[in-house]
Chain A
Amino acid sequence: MMRFQNRVVIVTGAGSGIGEAAVRLFLSEGAKVAAVDWNEESLANVERMLLPEYRDQLMAIVADAANLSAVEQMVNGVVGRWHQVNVLFNNAGIEETDSITETTEAMWDRQITINLKSVFACSKFVIPHMQRARGGAIVNTASIEGIVAEPRGAAYVASKGGVVMLTKEMALDYAADNIRVNCVCPGWIDTPMARRSIAKHGGLERMMPEIQRLQPLGRLGTPEEVAKAVLFLASDDASFITGTALMVDGGYTAQ
């Protein structure tokens, strides 16, 4: 299936996990992909792995997705080379969990900035290009924690709740421009970020079986499974879907 032939896709947080998986899938379906991350090293690894096969389809860009100036330059660079942007996958994110009283101002600012402000920043500069092209699709990475709160996740839960509501708001603002805006809400996904978080809260060996037991499907999801949902929402297969938050959580929030 080549659903993204001749389409230009920007993926933020492309250096690992769900972002990296999405880059691979978009490329495999014919898209030209601008892979954006502020971590030069992880982005270089992705580039090294994918460039031999997708030399003309892949552009790696080091930029802070939450910094408006950097994002403006990044989008200019993509449009300068490929003349359009058809899909934006706002995926940059971090997780530093704690309760309100234990959350420092720096932790709060970091998570709100990277998880929520990056959606604002990238969308702000991409949407005018989508409007000129008379359409496009934006997919944001929210979280199950944007729908159901979990303890000791104040800033993360607030940021992801913000992403869900911003998704709905943008969907309304730009429906008339044929720009669809949706988000995915991953549950427990086996990513480097999730592993870091689990290791910090009780250790991987001890916590992993317990977390698996909490999943109706009995396992963690994979980045590829989330990326497939992202591609669905970004594709014409989802042409009548906008403003939705799609759970990709193995049934976790159905309980």
Chain B
Amino acid sequence: MVVLPQLGGKIWSIEYRPHSREWLWHNPRIDVGLAPFGAAFDDYWSGGADVAFPSCYESTWNGWKVPDLGELWSIPWNVSHTFLPDSVTLTLTVGGRIWPVEVQRTITLNSHLPVVNMTFKITNVGSQSFPFLLGFHPAIAAEPGYRLDLAPGNVKVDEGTQEMGDIGQEYSWPYLAKSESDRPRDMRIMPPYTEGSYGGHFFRPSTAALWWAITDPKEQSGIGLVASINEWQGLWIWQVFGGWRGYYHVAVEPWTGYPITLHEAVKLNSARWLAPHSNYQATLTTVCYEGIDHVTAIDIDGTVFS
């Protein structure tokens, strides 16, 4: 793993060493580098995995205006490390410039397992309660033919090209049909670059499990993430198959609320609120795996089933 504390604590690389396989997408046209505070994230998106807080899209609450992907991705975080005999932990901390928060994130890499544990702790250091959304934004270097598996659940189409469903349409993962007569599209299989499509969908699990897995079926290796439904409401599935700025990548992002624009989430009572001096804690577990061409479940400890 490569983590860049100065660049918003971005995780730049997750390499599965046995296959020399880099799983995070790196933008072929935008080099990794500093962005000015308040910049539009997409215009500086070099790739990797970023933290989004307290909104995904630009939003205003209580006169507090938050930039695109929030306020933490473009500012430097403090970092410390602890090497234990069987793990290494990075602890990244940062204070909000707009939201009165202290954020602590730990990233722990185990020496014997291909598992990365990440914890978030967000503390309100202000004098009033405020709403927030927390998201984790890992861009995966997917390719045509790769497979996206999710926990059982339902999906809502929020944005995108017509191949990826009608705006507002809902479907049960993984089959999307535009009409009853239409042949359903298996959303698990990633189409060719020439399709020129993209979509932003929101996934809510129908069981207590919240996980995703992206597998390269030819190489029989993949990467997955598992989270607790008590801490994260669902997954924003951002899939780009040539249709958005000409890229090809997939970002499956756990979010603590939906919609992922803060003021809309507040309106729908979906944002979380944090009282003064209280904190919100959440964890995510990322796992790399091999020897299988699809995934049927991932346990909360990162055990992958096929």
A residues near B, CB below 8 A? 40, 59-64, 67, 69-70, 72-74, 77
- Between A70, A72, A73, the greatest number of chain B beta carbons within 10 A of the residue's beta carbon is seen for A73
- Contact in complex: B91, A62 (CB < 8 Å): no
Q: What sequence of 0s and 1s flags, for each residue 81-107 of chain B, a beta carbon within 8 Å of any chain A beta carbon?
A: 111110101010100000000001010
- Which 5 pairs from chain A and chain B are nearest by CB? A69-B91, A62-B83, A70-B80, A73-B82, A77-B84
**Residue in B closest to A60 when the chains form the complex, CB atoms:** B85
User: Between A and B, how many residue pairs show CB distances below 8 Å?
Assistant: 40
B: interface residue count bin? 10 to 19
Q: A64-B80, A67-B80 are in contact. Are A73 and B106 (CB under 8 A)?
A: yes
Complex: how many Å from CA A67 to CA B106? 14
Complex interface: chain B residues within 8 A of A72 (CB) = 91
- In the complex, besides A62-B82, A69-B104, A72-B91, 16 extra interface pairs with C-beta distance below 8 angstroms are A60-B85, A61-B85, A63-B80, A63-B81, A63-B82, A63-B83, A64-B80, A67-B80, A70-B81, A70-B91, A73-B82, A73-B84, A73-B91, A73-B106, A74-B84, A77-B89
A33 to chain B, nearest CB (A): 13
**Chain B contacts with A in 160-206, Cβ cutoff 8 A:** none
B residues near A, CB below 8 A? 78, 80-85, 87, 89, 91, 93, 104, 106
A50 to chain B, nearest CB (A): 13
**Residue in A closest to B106 when the chains form the complex, CB atoms:** A73
Complex interface: chain A residues within 8 A of B81 (CB) = 62-63, 70
Complex interface: chain B residues within 8 A of A61 (CB) = 82-85
Complex interface: chain B residues within 8 A of A64 (CB) = 80
Complex: how many Å from CA A59 to CA B82? 13
A70 to chain B, nearest CB (A): 4
B3 to chain A, nearest CB (A): 14
Q: Which of A40, A59, A60, A73 contacts B89 (CB 8 A)?
A: A73
- Contact in complex: B80, A69 (CB < 8 Å): yes
Complex interface: chain A residues within 8 A of B87 (CB) = 77
Complex interface: chain A residues within 8 A of B104 (CB) = 69
A117 to chain B, nearest CB (A): 13
Complex interface: chain A residues within 8 A of B80 (CB) = 63-64, 67, 69-70, 73
Complex interface: chain A residues within 8 A of B106 (CB) = 69, 73
Complex interface: chain A residues within 8 A of B84 (CB) = 59, 61, 73-74, 77
Complex interface: chain B residues within 8 A of A40 (CB) = 83
- Contact in complex: B85, A69 (CB < 8 Å): no
Complex interface: chain A residues within 8 A of B78 (CB) = 69
**Residue in A closest to B93 when the chains form the complex, CB atoms:** A69
**Residue in B closest to A73 when the chains form the complex, CB atoms:** B82
A90 to chain B, nearest CB (A): 17
Complex: how many Å from CA A69 to CA B80? 7
**Residue in B closest to A78 when the chains form the complex, CB atoms:** B84
A42 to chain B, nearest CB (A): 14
**Residue in B closest to A67 when the chains form the complex, CB atoms:** B80
A183 to chain B, nearest CB (A): 25
